[in-house]
Amino acid sequence: MIVISESRDLSKLSTAALFGKLMEHELELKRLKEQETVERKTKVLALKKSVHNDNSEEEENVEHDETLSLLTKRFSRFLKKKGRDRT
C-alpha cells in the first residue's frame, strides 16, 4: 500500500499504472520475505552452533570428572595395597 499511496490522486491513475504499481509492490514484498528467511536461517545456524559448543564442553567436563574419579579410586586402592605390603 505504500507504493500506491505515493500517487496523489488514485482516481487519475490508469488501470495499467495501478496494476504496475501492485506488481512492483508484490515483488518488493517477495524480496523482503526472501531476505528475512535467509536472515532467520543464519541466526538459527548460529544458535545451533553455539548450543552444540556448550553441550560439547559439558560432555568434556563430565568425561574429565569421570576419568578423575576413576583415577582417584585406583590410586586409593594402590595406596591401600602398598600400606598392607609394608606391615
Tell me the C-alpha distance between 87 and 46, whole Å.
62
- What pLDDT does residue 87 have? 53
Lowest mean pLDDT among 5-9, 31-35, 38-42: 5-9
pTM above 0.85, yes or no: no
Query: Cα 66 from chain centroid?
Result: 30
DSSP state letter for 8: S
Residue 69 to residues 61, 63, 81, Cα–Cα distance (Å): 12, 10, 19
